Structure 1
């Protein structure tokens, strides 16, 4: 509180000075006008003074439209001052307008330059309207005709044109940033025209009886409601209702407004483990936490930068003054530091971190591409376990070849019906003790129309850092579950294992999607197994744990793939609901000739057995390895020693001729299926 008090006092002193200067300037303008034509003001009728009072009263509640520009302010006084200009000339109208603008400026706490800017616009409008009326020597009588209506429209058009010409000149002179929102412009123009065209009605009412003039406040109230509705409607489409920040649509519109030689950075933040807050404290507390995150991010960036809530627990900052990657990284680190302080929630300090992706915009690159690149970098940061990643021209995934392949994959996945060349191969998994086929692993292939067969490693390397991965996983899951249903109908039920990425597990809806597929195809949940990697666990373990716990409760088995590589941790084996551990092929391939690899494989098999988990070895390509695995008690194996991956129809033929052979009775070299 002590830190806030001096700032509050200084702000109050500044505002009092602004108020005094505004009142002084207004009084000076009116005194000059009065001194220039004292006889004119003494001769003005009662109707003029009533309109003057009503103009000032109306501007005690001005109507600002959405936006920060002065030209977005609609003053209700314009209908009275426009009528005064038509009836009694420019000088009396300007005297009233000066007071009305000052009242509006005080009401909206405008600084003095902004009030002067607004006053100049309205003075120019009144001057243009007075010139049109003077050229026609026109005054509205008690019975206005068609010509009066035409001249009123002409004077109103001159008023509007002059005002917005002055606004454009001042904006260019002050280098104020332009915004392009056609809907706002239409609402602005419609409200201004409605107010101006009330003027002849006021003059007719004044000639009948000045006592009728206060009734015009009802019409002004209707215009006020219209302007307010337009503003709220525009705000609802461009502002996040929870945090009050601009939303995704506002960000895209801002990014489309590019200036010459301007470099900007889009910094995308995804809160880590936010779902844990919702689960522990409730969704109400989660909403309050998001609002506090929004406030802290807004306070951490300069006023010229834009803070946006994209949805869920994703935020973005559009930094408009960056000098390159290093500058953007400094901003990201500043945001990380701002979020590192605990958030007090109902007496409980909540710690938050965020994964941040950065994309730089320069030249003619569009906003949609920038947002996609920032999201790709953010997921790359999650996968690496880093807080910040930059999407730049030196990144491997930025090569034109990669981007073209990704675009082709996205287009292929959206084809309906699917004729995209994406196919699934299945590799059998063999129980070592009995030699029986206990399941298969589904492996992805893509027959690209120009590149030929694209392997799973390249396919996943391109897709996994992007939203395309979720489309790909959805496609694979549906095809695998449909194939399981087909095998079950043919009385040859098999269990199929499917690899899922970190992005799929972070989304959280994969459990619901799998549940719908199993119900739709009437497939028992124990026929489907999901394989996850340790890298997926490292990025956001709490969110992943929640997802795989739901899958385990549904009866879907979870296998920890590539165990022993990357970020191996025994914590995963102890606390995750796993059914199986897959030993990485890099150890299995070398175990026959490398004592270290053999020791690692034997240790993993023993550890899995003691925890009640199956141990499956990948990359079994010869009889020696097969026998070594049998001797160490490994449960199952897969590899080219038994069969290569094959399409579903070839797998059916292979199964028909396959005869289980135990390791103890193998004689001679095994001839693998082609």
Structure 2
């Protein structure tokens, strides 16, 4: 029994030893594997940490780019411009600079036609065109380089862009660049078979004359841009005079330009009558504006502003066209009559006035003698020699000239003898109370005598009562205009009114 146990013991001993040795080996291998795994995990963790850092750095760079660039065009934005100016003006605070502001007009039509996504592509292309035109403008601030090409355009947002220009020895450089960009950039784009038209308008503010802060310069450059785009002939450069015009007034003048094109205007006429023979000698026209939201507007609401802002000339051209066309209609109807049109001092300074009248007379087969131009005394105050020269050319052409509101100012008295006018109009302020005031009677009598001594005809404006008419006739004034004869009515009814008036007078004579 003991023998068997001993035998078993002898036999099992080497097996246990081998198992233990294998176990130690396995544990060693496992330890090595765990160590290698730990090393790998550490290395992986280190690599992941580096990748995470690189990702964060890249994300930060991307976020930094978009923080300083417009997300539609990719060009530097207002924040980028402000950063650059802060650095630049600290280094060179005494230098002169210009802020050139540009705006794409009529872009809302592009949005409507192409949709938001496509219009964004067009906007980016326009921005690229502008920047391409600036590649030779070394005086413009360079924000960065892309493919070795300078980026000099700032996208302020929407359809507004800006360029910052050093102009120490070139004070008119910004204007030159603005004119060039307005002419060369707006080439039609073909998108999905559609030709996309647009315009570029600009405004300029100078540092430090017009401001030292970017916000102030942008505000004044935008005001200059409004004047330049809405008022033809207005310079792109800001001036203090622009501060006098509110946005409402500028909007009104922009709407007036559209009104001329969209036939929102109408002409009213008031007859001028020979107070003795009752013959209608002419009809003076007055413009009315049928504004879509403001209603019917009289000349007092917009004419003075139109003259100040330079919109008066296209308005006068429209009035002249309508007036001369009406004269032709009267001729066809067998009715004799002249049309009187008021023109401003600004109209007299337009050299093309003569040529435009020549074209209209030829187009409608109307004689120049059938047109009367009424000119206020104040028209000669600013540039008397140039104004008188234009009047002499009009007189030579055959147009009848009348001095309007005569007696209300003294500016033209020194020029009266050399003015080629055929008649004067006594202002209604003297006529209204003629029969009630001795002073008005004396002044009106002196004006009539002065005009007659100079060989000029006299017309009284504002005749409303028969008593006033009779007093004017005794003073030697034969022509009158006022409510006594007719209130202003639409010019389209002038021919009918004339026939009716002639019939009435013929009946009275019987």
Q: TM-score range by the shorter chain?
A: 0.5 to 0.7
| 2:227/2:250 contact within 8 Å kept | no
1:531 aligned residue: 374
1:369 aligned residue: 226
CA, structure 1 residues 513+572, in 2 after alignment: closer, same or farther (shift >3 Å)? same
1:322 alignment partner, one of 209, 214, 239: 209
Match of 2:358, SS? helix
Residues 344-355 of structure 1: pairs in structure 2 closer than 5 A: none
Match of 1:464, SS? helix
Is it true that 1:641 corresponds to 2:484 in the alignment? yes
TM-score, structure 1 normalization = 0.45
1:250 aligned residue: 177
1:391 alignment partner, one of 241, 248, 256: 241
1:461 aligned residue: 304
The CA deviation at 1:660 is 8.7
1:163 aligned residue: none
Match of 1:424, SS? strand
Structure with the larger RCO, 1 or 2 (CA within 8 Å, 6+ apart)? 2
| 1:434/1:661 contact within 8 Å kept | no
Q: Over the residues paired in the alignment, what is the CA RMSD in angstroms? A: 3.9
The CA deviation at 1:595 is 0.8
Superimposed CA distance per residue, residues 204-224 of structure 1 (whole angstroms, 9 cap, x where no aligned partner): xxxxxxxxxxxxxxxxxxxxx
2:281 alignment partner, one of 438, 454, 459: 438
Report the Cα distance in structure 2 between the residues aligned to 1:424 and 1:435, rounded to whole angstroms: 24
1:655 aligned residue: 498
Report the Cα distance in structure 1 between the residues aligned to 2:178 and 2:470, rounded to whole angstroms: 61
The CA deviation at 1:512 is 1.5
Is it true that 1:618 corresponds to 2:475 in the alignment? no
Superimposed CA distance per residue, residues 108-166 of structure 1 (whole angstroms, 9 cap, x where no aligned partner): xxxxxxxxxxxxxxxxxxxxxxxxxxxxxxxxxxxxxxxxxxxxxxxxxxxxxxxxxxx
1:402 alignment partner, one of 249, 262, 276: 249
Report the Cα distance in structure 2 between the residues aligned to 1:172 and 1:502, rounded to whole angstroms: 45
The CA deviation at 1:391 is 2.4
Superimposed CA distance per residue, residues 387-433 of structure 1 (whole angstroms, 9 cap, x where no aligned partner): xx94255x4xx244433322211112233xxxx32111111100122
| 1:591/1:597 contact within 8 Å kept | yes
TM-score, structure 2 normalization = 0.58
Return the index of the structure with the highest Cα Rg: 2
| 2:267/2:288 contact within 8 Å kept | yes
| 1:434/1:660 contact within 8 Å kept | no
1:185 alignment partner, one of 117, 120, 135: 135
| 1:252/1:368 contact within 8 Å kept | no
CA, structure 1 residues 402+633, in 2 after alignment: closer, same or farther (shift >3 Å)? same
Match of 1:651, SS? helix
1:576 aligned residue: 419
Report the Cα distance in structure 2 between the residues aligned to 1:478 and 1:568, rounded to whole angstroms: 30
1:596 aligned residue: 439
Match of 1:428, SS? strand
Report the Cα distance in structure 2 between the residues aligned to 1:368 and 1:470, rounded to whole angstroms: 21
The size of the alignment, in residue pairs, is: 336
CA, structure 1 residues 534+373, in 2 after alignment: closer, same or farther (shift >3 Å)? farther
1:496 aligned residue: 339
| 1:435/1:660 contact within 8 Å kept | no
Residues 190-229 of structure 1: pairs in structure 2 closer than 5 A: none
Greater Cα offset, 175-184 or 636-645: 175-184
Report the Cα distance in structure 2 between the residues aligned to 1:428 and 1:543, rounded to whole angstroms: 31
Report the Cα distance in structure 2 between the residues aligned to 1:646 and 1:445, rounded to whole angstroms: 11
1:63 aligned residue: none
Q: Looking at secondary structure, tell me which structure has more strand per residue.
A: 2
CA, structure 1 residues 406+169, in 2 after alignment: closer, same or farther (shift >3 Å)? closer
Give ranges in structure 1 of 5+ residues lacking alignment. 1-166, 189-195, 197-242, 256-315, 325-358, 379-388, 667-674
